[in-house]
Structure 1
Amino acid sequence: MSVTEKDVQYIANLARLQLNDEEVRSFAGDMNKILGYMDQLNEVDTENVEPLEHVIDLESRLRKDEGKEPLSHEDALKNAPDADSDYFRVPKVIE
């Protein structure tokens, strides 16, 4: 598959981009290079390769998800500069 200048103009129109003739030629060349790299990747034998979620194993770096007791209202509001019985008080920012 090859990307023509007409294809680039069509895509630019969809994206609401205004490209001059030089930019259209440049993008057509770039897109054809990308498609060439994709063809090169398609030649790689991946028949026996299992799909991965991550390139590296992250299982060992994450802690177990364990439920804990939530903070009480008193503890959560203890260091607040201004609070009432249940909420943080903040300065009014909307006039």
Structure 2
Amino acid sequence: MSEPAQGISRADVAHLAGLARIDLSDAELDHLASELPAILEHVASVQQAAGDDVDAMSHPVPVDNVFREDVVVPCLSPEEALAAAPASDQQRFLVPKILGEEA
């Protein structure tokens, strides 16, 4: 892996922000231009810590799904489930419309 580039300019940060579709203020661009080289150095050191003999993993310990038997058991009828609902319509909970939905 190549060494991280030193001297990242404000224009470089603005270009990266544009690619990531992040709107940064002038103060944020200046701050990140000075901070980004140190961040890249830290990333490079972490990449070097995991050598070629270390497998990539998402969890440090094996993760297995635990499944149970799918057994049909008695449950509430739609009428019983909706009995305490403040409002219902066609065997469904009736809730207020949100986000300007049309009727």
Task: Give yes or no for TM over 0.5.
Answer: yes
Q: For structure 2, list consecutive stretches of 5 or more residues without a partner in the other structure.
A: none
Q: Summarize the alignment of residues 12-91 of structure 1 with structure 2, pairs less than 5 Å apart.
A: 12=17, 14=18, 15-20=22-27, 23-59=28-64, 63-64=66-67, 66-69=69-72, 71-83=76-88, 86-90=91-95
Secondary structure (helix, strand or coil) at the match of 2:49 reads: coil
Q: For structure 1, list consecutive stretches of 5 or more residues without a partner in the other structure.
A: none
Could you give the per-residue CA deviations for residues 9-65 of structure 1, whole angstroms, max 9, x where no partner exists?
4345x2343304xx5443212100011112212322432223323245554xx6425
Identity of aligned residues (%): 26
TM-score normalised over the length of structure 2: 0.54
- C-alpha root-mean-square deviation of aligned residues, in Å? 3.5
When residues 4 and 72 of structure 1 are mapped into structure 2, their CA distance, relative to the original with a 3 A threshold, is same
CA distance in 1, matches of 2:41, 2:14: 20
User: Which of the residues 5, 9, 34 maps onto 1:4?
Assistant: 9
TM-score normalised over the length of structure 1: 0.56
Aligned length: 89
